Structures are given as structure tokens and as C-alpha cells.
Homo-oligomer: A and B are copies of this chain.
Amino acid sequence: MKVRRSDRLVDMTRYLLERPHQLVSLTFFAARYESAKSSISEDLTILKRTFQTRGTGLLETVPGAAGGARFIPYILREEAEQFVDDMITELSEADRYLPGGYVYMSDILGRPSALRQIGRILATQYLNQNVDVVVTVATKGIPLAQSVANYLGVPFVIVRHDSQITEGSTVSVNYVSGSTKRIERMALSKRSVKPNSRVLIVDDYMKGGGTVGGLRSLVDEFDSQLAGVAVFAEGDFAGQRTVSKYTSLLKIQTADEQIRVSPGNYLTQIFGDDSQLK
């Protein structure tokens, strides 16, 4: 039975939102709703307009009978700034201070609504960059990697400090922790990244950049290319970082048991000083 436009709009929205970066054909929708392709095209125009008006993302439409639509999520500057502001307020709470100058943020990294926004924001930077896989290192970067990968429509893989029997053969590298100067080791399952992949590194926190440096040498070991490095928060680091190009949503400084949180370099790098992402 032919499906009404209103019902089609609801279901198409759901269907496309669940499949970021995936081309869904007009033919598929026409069969699903027993409707003419011309009607489906009109529906897609409505989705596209609404997604744009609301800052949900771009609905890329591929014209012609063999065409279709692809949903590319992004976030607008204003919404990203609002989120960064909210995070600054929340992370500045005094009781988040931990001995050693760390800041408790596991609750935020376990909150689905925050992870969605962080994922959308970090994915926005790479929406046109053909990322093949997101790489993170256990443990706290995993939820972020999952969210970014979801919005980019690509898989993510987890590098581990302990080599696990459930990973099969692994490739491992040694690296020097940027802050403690200790030598550490990390391993990644051999079959998890194909050669010549474009790899986006995502992590929750970067201080000296040693871990990210280790991840970057792993990318080399897999004959792959680094697409970029994106972290939720960067810490204060006096020395020379081993990683120079990265984006961070937040910058966290601690001194005398006080926490000071400010915006990272993301907003100005991605949105510029006053330009607006179209």
C-alpha cells in the first residue's frame, strides 16, 4: 500500500539519520513506500531543507534515476560553542579536582548525550576527508572513537596496552610517554586496519602527546596515512609536544588544586574567527 507523505518523511528521516555517509537509493525508498521516485525526490528536498535550517547536517542528493541521498552530519558553530561552554562550566566544578593535577571527567565520557555532541563536533572537521577508520587507545577514548566513527560512517579500532588473546596476531610499538618519559608498549590486531587506510586518531585527553605519538607510529606500521588527531581535552604541557598538529575541544589547566578550563583550538581552527560554517 502506498505510504502517505507524512509517514514517509518520518521514516526516511529515521532511516537516513541511522546511516551517516551511506548512499541510499531512490529505488530503495520508492519500493519501501510503494511511491513514485518523483514523490521521493520531493520528500528528500523537504528533508534537505529541514536538516539545513536546523543545523542537523547536509543531505547530499545524487540526481537521476540511479541517484539517491546521503546524510552527512555536521554541527554549526553556535551549537558547538554552546556545547564547549557547557563543558567548561561543568568541568570547572571544584570537586572534579583529583590528586596529581587530574580532572575527573569519566561521568561526561559515559553520558550518551555528551558523547553524541562530541562525536558530531569532531566528525564535522573530517566530513570531507575520506577517513577510513578511527583509531583510539583503551580505555577512555573508546566511547569518543565510537561516536566519531558513527557520525563519519566508518569503523573504529581499539589499540591496547595489554596484548589480548582475543585479538589474534598483533603489531606492537614502543613509545615514550610524553609526560612521564617512561617507555610503554601498545598493540593493535593485525587484521583490524587495511594497508593504505586514512586513519583518524581520537582520544579523550592529551598531555605530552606520547600516546598519540605511539598511535601515529602504529599507523605507519600498518602502511597507512594519518588523517588527523582529535582530542576531547588537552592538558597543560610545558615541554615540546611530540605531536604538533591536532585539534582539541577543551584545554584543562590545574594548579594549586584549582581547575581552569578554556576552549581548545578546535573552534577557531574549524570555524575561524568569525566565519560561520555554511
Interfacial residues, chain A to chain B (CB-CB below 8 A) = 5-7, 9-11, 13-14, 17-19, 46-47, 49-51, 53-54, 56, 98-100, 102-107, 110-113, 115-116, 138-140, 142-143, 146, 149-150, 153-158, 160, 164-168, 189, 191-192, 205
* Contact present for A191 and B107 (CB under 8 Å): yes
Asked if A166 and B54 sit within 8 Å, CB to CB, the answer is no
Contacts of A189 in B (CB 8 A): 104, 106
Given contacts A104-B166, A142-B143, A191-B104, contact A10 B47 (CB under 8 A): yes
Assembled-state Cα–Cα distance A233/B19 (Å): 25
CB of B50 within 8 A of CB of A7, answer yes
CB<8 Å pairs between A and B, sample of 20:
A6-B9, A6-B46, A7-B46, A9-B13, A10-B46, A10-B50, A11-B54, A11-B56, A14-B54, A102-B166, A103-B166, A104-B166, A104-B168, A106-B167, A106-B189, A110-B149, A110-B156, A112-B146, A112-B156, A139-B158
Q: Are A53 and B98 in contact, with the CB atoms below 8 A?
A: no
Select A98's contact among B5, B156, B165, beta carbons within 8 Å: B165
B146 and A115 within 8 A (CB): yes
